[in-house]
Amino acid sequence: MLIFETINELTLKVTCTGNDVLFAKAGAFIAGDNSGKKNYRFEKVLLEPQRNIGKALLGQLARRATGENLPLMKVCLNGDSVTYYANYGQHVIIYHLMPGETISVESENILAFTQDCDYSVRFIGSGVLSQKGLATSTLTAKGHNAYVAVLSDGNPIVLNNVETGNTISADPDAVVCWIGHGHCNPKITADVSWKTFIGQASGESYQFEWNEAVTVIIQPSERKGGIRVSMD
C-alpha cells in the first residue's frame, strides 16, 4: 500500500508498506530510505501504465498527435520504504481520488500516481485555444488507493463549486487540473471582436468555464501559448 504526503510543499513523500508499484515523472526521484539493502528499483515505461498492449499503443499515438507527452518511470517497491520525488522546486499538490472520480491534468504537471489510477488521453476540443491543443491527460480511480501528485508553478489556489453551484472560469494556460465524476469537460468561451484585430485585446480573450460540480486547481503562472491575434 502507498501513502502520499508533501514535505515543505515542494517534495512528494511516498510511504510503502509491503510490495507495490508507483508511476512517476522520469527522473523525479531525489532520495529514499529503507532498512537493509535498497528494496526498490526503477524501470522505464516504454508505452503506458496500462496492462493492455493495444490500449497502450492507441494511447501513445493519441499522446504524440496531441502533444500530451508523458515521460514516465515505473518504481517497483519491494518492501517497506520511504521515497521522495520533486521537480525543479515546483509546488506539489496531492489528491486522493475516490472510486470512479477522475482528474484531468496537463501531462507536464503530473508528478506521480499509484497503480489504482487508470491513465488515458481524452479529447476536450479546445483546439488552438490551449497550450496543449486538443487533449488532456486523465487519471480515473479504479481502486481505493488512487493517489495523484501534480505540480504547480508557485503556490496554487483551489476553487470548488460542489456546494455553491457557482460557475468557475479560468485561463486555460493557468489551469493545472480539474477533478470531478465522469467527463466534466470545461466549456470554452471566446471574447474575440474587432478590437482583437487592431491590437486592443484585453489579453483574456478565451477562458474555461465549468457549471457542473468540479474542483479546479490553478497556478499563479501562465504557460506561453493560446491566441495571440492582433494587427499593427
Tens of pLDDT along the chain (232 residues) come to 999 999 999 999 999 999 999 999 999 999 999 999 999 999 988 655 555 555 555 555 555 554 546 789 999 999 999 999 999 999 999 999 999 899 999 888 999 999 999 988 877 754 444 444 456 889 999 989 999 999 999 999 999 999 999 999 999 889 999 998 866 788 887 765 545 444 544 455 678 999 989 999 999 998 775 444 433 3
Whole-number pLDDT of residue 203: 53
* 228 found inside a domain: no
- For residue 204, the model assigns a pLDDT of 55
Whether 210 and 186 have beta carbons less than 8 Å apart is answered as yes
Q: What is the CATH number of the domain that holds 151?
A: 3.60.160.10
pLDDT score, position 66: 47
Q: Which domain holds residue 53?
A: 2-218
Collapsing DSSP to helix, strand or coil, 64 comes out as helix
Position 15 in a domain: yes
Judge contact between 190 and 154, C-beta under 8 A.
no
Residue for cell digits 522546486? 89
Q: Is residue 140 part of a domain?
A: yes
Instruction: State how many domains the chain has.
Output: 1
Q: Examine residue 25 and state whether it is found in any structural domain, yes or no.
A: yes
Does the residue 229 lie in any domain? no
Q: Is residue 208 a part of any domain in this protein?
A: yes
Residue 191's pLDDT is what?
A: 65
C-alpha distances (whole Å) from 70 to each of 66, 82, 99 are 11, 24, 23
| 37 within domain boundaries | yes
State the pLDDT at residue 145.
94
Residue 210 falls inside a structural domain: yes
